[in-house]
Amino acid sequence: MFFSKKVIGLMMSVATAATLSACGTTSTASHGTSTKKQYTIAFINGDNIDPYFLTAWHGAYVEAQRLGVKLIENAPPTFDYEQQAPLIEDMIARHVNAIILSADSGTALQPELKQAHSAGIPVIIVNQTEADMNNTPYALSFICTSNTELSKYGAKAMHSLIGNSGTTAVINSSAGLTSDIHRGTGYYAWMKTHAPGIKTLPMQFDLDSRSKADAIATDIIKAHPHIKGIFAVDSFTGQGVGTAIKALGDKGKIKVVAIDAEPQEVSLMKQGIIQELIAQQPYNMGALSMKYAVDAITGHKSLIKRNVAPSPIIVTPQNLSQMSKVVYQTWHP
Residues 159 and 131 in one domain: no
Residue 151 and residue 190 in contact, taking contact as beta carbons nearer than 8 Å: yes
Indicate whether 316 belongs to any domain. no
pLDDT at 19 over 90: no
Residues 114 and 212 in one domain: no
* Predicted pLDDT of residue 295: 98
Residues 199 and 93 in one domain: no
> What pLDDT digit, counting tens, does each position of 199-216 carry?
999 999 999 899 999 999
Indicate whether 22 belongs to any domain. yes
The share of the chain scoring above pLDDT 90, in percent, equals: 83
Residues 106 and 186 in one domain: no
> Which has more confidence, 38 or 151?
151
Indicate whether 31 belongs to any domain. yes
* Predicted pLDDT of residue 7: 36
- Would you place residue 16 in the very low, low, confident or very high pLDDT band (cuts 50, 70, 90)? very low
The mean pLDDT of 233-240, rounded to a whole number, is 95
Residues 231 and 301 in one domain: no
Computed over every residue of the chain, the mean pLDDT equals 90
CA distance 1 to 287: 17
Indicate whether 323 belongs to any domain. no
* Predicted pLDDT of residue 25: 57
Residue 128, phi then psi, degrees to nearest 5: -145, 140
* Predicted pLDDT of residue 326: 94
8-state DSSP, 35: S
- Would you place residue 332 in the very low, low, confident or very high pLDDT band (cuts 50, 70, 90)? confident
Residues 32 and 103 in one domain: yes
List of E strands, the chain: 25-28, 40-44, 70-74, 98-102, 123-126, 141-143, 166-172, 198-200, 204-205, 229-232, 255-259, 276-279, 307-308, 313-315
Residues 239 and 285 in one domain: no
Highest mean pLDDT among 106-110, 131-135, 241-245: 241-245
Q: What is the domain count for the chain?
A: 2
The mean pLDDT of 234-239, rounded to a whole number, is 95
- Would you place residue 24 in the very low, low, confident or very high pLDDT band (cuts 50, 70, 90)? low
Torsion of CA 247, 249, 252, 256, to 10 degrees: -30
Residues 106 and 192 in one domain: no
Q: How many other C-beta atoms can be found within 10 angstroms of the C-beta atom of residue 253?
A: 13
Residue range of the domain that includes 214 = 147-279
Indicate whether 294 belongs to any domain. yes
pLDDT at 18 over 90: no
Residues 159 and 110 in one domain: no
The share of the chain scoring above pLDDT 70, in percent, equals: 89
The mean pLDDT of 299-309, rounded to a whole number, is 98
> What pLDDT digit, counting tens, does each position of 257-270 carry?
999 999 999 999 99
Indicate whether 328 belongs to any domain. no
Indicate whether 110 belongs to any domain. yes
Indicate whether 173 belongs to any domain. yes
Q: CATH number of the domain that 131 lies in?
A: 3.40.50.2300
Residues 296 and 255 in one domain: no
User: Looking at this protein, which amino acid is placed at residue 51?
Assistant: P
- Would you place residue 187 in the very low, low, confident or very high pLDDT band (cuts 50, 70, 90)? very high
Residues 38 and 64 in one domain: yes
Residues 297 and 273 in one domain: no
pLDDT at 113 over 70: yes
* Predicted pLDDT of residue 176: 80
- Would you place residue 23 in the very low, low, confident or very high pLDDT band (cuts 50, 70, 90)? very low
> Which has more confidence, 124 or 19?
124
